[in-house]
Amino acid sequence: GPLKEVLFFPVDITCVEHLLRAGEALPNSCPCPLPHGQETSFTRLLRHLLSASTSLDLCIFAFSNQSLSRAVLLLQARGVVVRVVTDTSYMAISGSQISTLRRAGVNVRHDMGAVYMHHKFAVVDGRLLITGSLNWTTTAIQCNKENMLCPEQNFHQAEHDLWRSRHGGEQVLE
């Protein structure tokens, strides 16, 4: 069928340092108290995002999860072209990662063309779509029943449309 993969949440939190510090010299065993070595919907999500080699396009209503923010910053540092569209009203919520991303030079637009920019999707390398009900918040990941589909196809046109048109951002501030 067309759906190769569906990610369900919530998941129990596990250590993701091995994903976010790939390439760094890590101690043989991580000293943190979280469970290690487990694959979850969240590690799958991180792996998909970190597979980006050229571009990552995000339209995310609410973005406050720190591990996801670290993943985006890691991609940006690797030279991946990262673009983010987010919702105006939710940009300033407590714990929002948007200003952190901006400070790191990520191209962020906030959308003022609708009551809510309620999308929650990522396009990896114009190829892999990751979309569903999940906002990028720790509550959503660890507490809510959520789903994400990860269909793969050529999204370059859609990506372009989403970025340029009413479905993406219309306003650039900052």
Q: How many CA atoms lie within 13 A of 129 on its CB side?
A: 19
Q: How many CA atoms lie within 13 A of 122 on its CB side?
A: 25
Question: Of 7, 11, 15, 123, which one interacts with Zn ion (CB under 5 A)?
Answer: 15
Q: Which stretch binds a copy of itself (CB under 8 A): 15-23, 32-40, 71-79, 111-119?
A: 111-119
| Shortest separation between residue 116's beta carbon and a copy of itself, angstroms | 4
Radius of gyration of the chain (CA): 16
What are the phi and psi torsion angles at 65 (to 5°)? -70, 130
What is the CA angle 56-60-63, rounded to 5?
100
> 120 an active-site residue?
yes
| Shortest separation between residue 2's beta carbon and a copy of itself, angstroms | 3
**30 interface partner picked from a copy of itself, Zn ion, none, CB below 5 to 8 A per type:** Zn ion
> 125 an active-site residue?
yes
| Shortest separation between residue 27's beta carbon and Zn ion, angstroms | 10
Q: Which stretch binds a copy of itself (CB under 8 A): 12-20, 26-34, 46-54, 133-141?
A: 133-141
Q: Which two tokens stand for residue 52?
A: 């980006």
SS3 56: strand
Q: Which residues are catalytic?
A: 118, 120, 125
- Sites of contact with Zn ion (CB under 5 A): 15, 17, 30, 32
